Chains A and B, each alone.
Chain A
Amino acid sequence: MSNIAGSIPRRPSDSVQEPLTCRLQIKEHVGRQGLVPLMGELEITNRSPDAIEIEHCMSPLQYLELEVTDAAGRVVSEGHFSDRLSPSLEVLVLRLLPGEMFVATVPLLATLPREQRVAGVYFVRAIYEHPNLRAVSDPVTVELVAGA
């Protein structure tokens, strides 16, 4: 769940967008022993003309839900992404200036329990839901292969 902040150039079409947008994509991730499968990259971008402050006491990812649906459209994910996080006493603030983004590496099927992972196609949406802001990504397609 490593994360970084950066900025992106604004686009003309951004003027009518929601203040916060969320993008999820498959991202190759290499750990200390090689490729880690089923990893993705989450981008949360401030599309508003004002700075956005996100208070958190676990991680900016405490507001993230990864919703997994199977090929039949059934939601198969359980719990919430934040279930795996541990709280601190300090309240930290992620401040995103206009055009700035927060980027984090996330396990795409984190909310799909291991014992329920069967071969097939899954669709994963990131839903970022802060008390005053909500952003939903387009789904990414993940295929689990038997025996992999």
Chain B
Amino acid sequence: MEVTETGPLFKWETMLELGPHTLPYREPIQGKIVEVELVDGQKLKGFRADDTYFYFCHGLTFGGTGAPGGPFSPFSGHEVRTILENHYRPVEPESGASSGDILVWRGLDGDTPHSAILVDPVFRAGENQLDYASTVQTKNGRLPEEIMNLGRLTGDEFGYGDSFTIFRRIR
């Protein structure tokens, strides 16, 4: 039986500030680009806000909120793909998903526009897809962290859509 890895993903003692950075929201968020090593030694870039409170989805999903000195959020795209390719595997079919797995949305040009943690998976009898009644823990951009059902997250309020893949941490 496969055992899900639950240990730290980052070596926080390797964290290094590379320089100032501004997230271009309508109300910009000031912070720094921070580099940190994954437990396998690969380096990864993310964002740390100057207020030491702000984080976005990938910070929540990959355990960056517990970083010493304030939350660390891996950037979308290349950084998230690096984590997935080296520490996660897709859960296929979706009916194999369990609490603690993560959902990562696919975007244009290899982007990973959103991610969330699966809290309570629900499946309809005879179907392999995750039901909209499933609940997820999610931090939508700069909006507050919430637990909500998948239908709300993919639907008419946030509009992330259905283009997600479920992943499980394996190392």
Residues of A in contact with B (beta carbons under 8 Å apart): 1-3, 31-33, 36-39, 57-59, 62, 65, 79-80, 82-90, 92, 105-110, 114
Chain A binding site: helix, strand, loop or mixed by DSSP? loop
Candidate in B45, B113, B156, B163 with the most chain A CB atoms within 10 angstroms: B156
Q: Is B157 an interface residue (CB 8 A)?
A: yes
* B26 A2 Cβ-Cβ under 8 A: no
List CB contacts (< 8 Å) of B45-84 with chain A.
Answer: 45, 47, 56-58, 73, 75-79
Q: How many residues of B are in contact with the other chain, CB < 8 A?
A: 42
Q: Is B93 an interface residue (CB 8 A)?
A: no
Q: A31-B155, A107-B155 are in contact. Are A1 and B161 (CB under 8 A)?
A: yes
* A31 B154 Cβ-Cβ under 8 A: yes
* B157 A107 Cβ-Cβ under 8 A: yes
Please, which residues of chain A bring their CB within 8 A of the CB of B159? 1, 39, 84, 105-107, 110
Q: A2-B163, A88-B78 are in contact. Are A33 and B23 (CB under 8 A)?
A: no
Chain B binding site: helix, strand, loop or mixed by DSSP? loop
In order of increasing CB-CB distance, the 3 nearest A-B pairs are A107-B159, A88-B77, A80-B26
The answer for the CA separation of A39 and B162 in the assembled complex, in Å, is 14
* A87 B24 Cβ-Cβ under 8 A: yes
Candidate in A59, A88, A110 with the most chain B CB atoms within 10 angstroms: A88
B25 CB to closest chain A CB (Å) equals: 6
Q: Is B132 an interface residue (CB 8 A)?
A: yes
Q: Look across to chain A and name the residue whose beta carbon is closest to the beta carbon of B22.
A: A87
The answer for the CA separation of A39 and B25 in the assembled complex, in Å, is 23
Q: Look across to chain B and name the residue whose beta carbon is closest to the beta carbon of A131.
A: B24
List CB contacts (< 8 Å) of B121-171 with chain A.
Answer: 129, 131-132, 140-143, 151-152, 154-163
* A82 B78 Cβ-Cβ under 8 A: no
The answer for the CA separation of A114 and B157 in the assembled complex, in Å, is 7
The answer for the CA separation of A134 and B128 in the assembled complex, in Å, is 44
6 A-B pairs with C-beta separation under 8 A: A1-B159, A3-B108, A33-B132, A82-B141, A89-B45, A92-B108
* B25 A83 Cβ-Cβ under 8 A: yes
B94 CB to closest chain A CB (Å) equals: 10
List CB contacts (< 8 Å) of B22-53 with chain A.
Answer: 23-27, 33, 45, 47
The answer for the CA separation of A62 and B43 in the assembled complex, in Å, is 28
The answer for the CA separation of A139 and B66 in the assembled complex, in Å, is 44
B121 CB to closest chain A CB (Å) equals: 14
Q: Is B8 an interface residue (CB 8 A)?
A: no
* A31 B141 Cβ-Cβ under 8 A: no
The answer for the CA separation of A145 and B7 in the assembled complex, in Å, is 48
* B140 A84 Cβ-Cβ under 8 A: yes
Candidate in B78, B158, B159, B160 with the most chain A CB atoms within 10 angstroms: B159
Q: Look across to chain A and name the residue whose beta carbon is closest to the beta carbon of B59.
A: A86
From A36, A80, A106, B155 is in contact (CB under 8 Å) with: A36
